[in-house]
Amino acid sequence: MTADKAIDDNTSPPEAPEAAKPSGIRALLIEVASMTQFSGRFFKEAFLPPYEINEFLKQSYLIGNKSLPLVGITAFIMGLVFTMQSQPTLAKFGATSWLPAMVSVAMIREISPVITALICAGKVGSGIGAELASMRVTEQIDAMEVAGNRPFNYIVVSRISAAILMVPLLVIFADGIALIGSFIGVNLSGHTSFNVFFGHVFNKLDFIDVFPAFVKTFFFGFAIGMISCYKGYNSNEGTEGVGRAANSAVVLASLAIFIIDMIAVQVSNLFN
């Protein structure tokens, strides 16, 4: 039997003894190997027909549409608060004119991608984890499998691809809203025209500020989609496993976002 099929061989075993479960470092290594295999299968099946275009578009709409209000509100508050808190400090040094540039660089390079990705990890990751685990518990994934309908392609590939596409788009949206929040924040204690504010923003932003920040969001999207699908698809502990899958999807995806961000900073510094 193929290795690919082994991934799906996770129907709840009756009375599986607890003693048989690995623990500690061994369990961690098995989990990492299993996730790597899962990711490998995603890349293999993502480029092979048939393509689940309709399901991909549906998932893209759901991920984008569900997260849009929360991402928008959060980004607006972040831009506003960050500006209001930075303003007094910069004023002490007579550097308030640097405020638009400072906020835009901080938002676009770091804060907006990470916060947006964390929101998606919470909202989208838990949703996908719980949905897939629930489908596993109610044997819906098995039903697709035994009908020869390739559930991995239909369920997993479409969701991971949608997350890869939508997280960067949500980050761009969050960047724009955060800058609007910042513009309003600047105008709460003074007057700066729209043209002057955004003139400063775009004059100070370099390619090296925008490009690495944009590229890492694709990795954020992949991590959120892959981890939540992995946790949900491989859930095998009954109804209790649904909650556990949703929870661990959020925790692991959030951790992965910080790790990817750390690596991205190191890599972009090499080109600086």
The binding site for another protein (CB under 8 A) comprises 1-2, 4-6, 8-9, 11, 13-17, 19-20, 50, 135, 138-140, 142-150
Alpha carbon dihedral 234, 240, 245, 247, in 10-degree steps, equals -170
- Smallest gap from Cβ 21 to another protein, in A, equals 9
Q: Interhelix angle for 53-92 vs 99-106, to 10°?
A: 140
Nearer to another protein, 149 or 203 (CB): 149
Nearer to another protein, 9 or 92 (CB): 9
d(CA 88, CA 94): 10
Q: Reduced to 3 states, what is the DSSP secondary structure of residue 192?
A: coil
Q: How many other CB atoms are found less than 10 A from the CB of residue 139? A: 13
- Phi, psi (deg, nearest 5) at residue 88: -60, -40
Nearer to another protein, 5 or 191 (CB): 5
- Smallest gap from Cβ 63 to another protein, in A, equals 15
Nearer to another protein, 139 or 206 (CB): 139
Structure tokens at 47: 């480029």
- Smallest gap from Cβ 134 to another protein, in A, equals 8
- Smallest gap from Cβ 49 to another protein, in A, equals 11
d(CA 148, CA 20): 31
Name which of 266, 261, 232 is nearest 110 in CA terms: 261
Nearer to another protein, 12 or 192 (CB): 12
- Smallest gap from Cβ 158 to another protein, in A, equals 13
